[in-house]
Chain A
Amino acid sequence: MDESEIIVSLRGVSNRFGSHVVHENLDLDIRRGEILGLIGGSGSGKSVLLRSILWLRPPDAGEVTVLGTPLRQADERAWREIRRRWGVLFQDGALFSSLTVTENIQVPLREFAALDKRTMNDIAALKIVLSGLPREAGALHPEELSGGMRKRAGLARALALDPAILFLDEPTAGLDPIGAGSFDELLLSLKEAMGLTVCMVTHDVDSLHTVCDRVAVLADKHIAAIGTIEELLQVDHPWIKEYFSGPRGRIAAACHERSTASSAPYRKPGEQGE
Chain B
Amino acid sequence: MAEQTIDMQQHFAGDGERDPDITTVSGPDGVFISCTGAWVVLRLHKVVAKLREPSLLAARPVAIDCTAISSLDTAGALLLERLRCGYSGNPAMRLKDRRQQDLFATVAPGACLPEPLEPDSPPPFVQFLNTLGGTIITQFHQTKSLINFLGAFLLSLVGLLRHPGRLRLTSLAYHMELVGLAAVPIVALLSFLIGVVVAYMGAQQLRLFGAEIYVINLVEITTLRELGVLMTSIVVAGRSGSAFTAQIGAMQANEEVDAMRTMGLDPMRLLVQPRVVALILMLPALVFLSDIMGLLGGAVAVKASIGLGIDAFAERLQASMNLNHFYIGLGKAPVFALIIGVVGCFQGFRVTGSSDSVGRLTTQAVVQAIFLVIVFDAAFAVFFAALGV
Contact = CB atoms under 8 A, between A and B. Distances in A.
A and B associate in one complex: yes
B13 A269 contact: no
A2 B5 contact: yes
Given A135-B116, A195-B6, A161 B41 contact: yes
B109 A119 contact: no
Contact of A141 (B11, B74, B354): B354
Most chain B CB neighbours (cut-off 10 Å) among A141, A192, A213: A192
A138 B75 CA distance: 17
Contacts of A67: 12
B109 A270 contact: yes
A109 B13 CA distance: 13
Interface in B150-190: none
A97 B355 contact: yes
B74 A126 contact: yes
A193 B103 contact: yes
Interface in B34-76: 40-42, 44-45, 48, 73-75
A161 B75 CA distance: 8
B133 interface: no
A164 B106 contact: no
Nearest to B73: A162
Interface stretch (A54-62, A110-118, A199-207, A248-256): A110-118
B110 A109 contact: no
B129 interface: no
B263 to A, nearest CB: 23
B5 A129 contact: no
Contact of B82 (A114, A122, A164): A122
B353 interface: yes
Contact of B48 (A1, A119, A193): A119
A193 B74 contact: yes
B103 A135 contact: no
B102 interface: yes
A213 B1 CA distance: 10
Nearest to B108: A270
A195 B8 CA distance: 10
Contact of A113 (B6, B11, B42): B42
A158 B40 CA distance: 16
Contacts of B120: none
B318 interface: no
A125 interface: yes
Interface in A1-44: 1-2, 5, 32-33
B42 A1 contact: no
A82 to B, nearest CB: 10
B356 interface: yes
Contacts of A1: 1-2, 4-5
B41 to A, nearest CB: 5
Most chain B CB neighbours (cut-off 10 Å) among A125, A143, A162: A162
A190 B106 CA distance: 8
B151 to A, nearest CB: 29
A32 to B, nearest CB: 7
Interface in B91-109: 99, 102-103, 105-109
The 7 closest A-B pairs by CB, nearest first: A270-B109, A143-B353, A129-B110, A193-B106, A162-B73, A143-B354, A33-B4
Given A123-B74, A161-B41, A193-B103, 5 more contacts: A113-B42, A123-B41, A125-B110, A130-B74, A162-B74
Interface of B: 1-2, 4-6, 8, 11-13, 40-42, 44-45, 48, 73-75, 78-79, 82, 99, 102-103, 105-111, 113, 115-116, 352-356
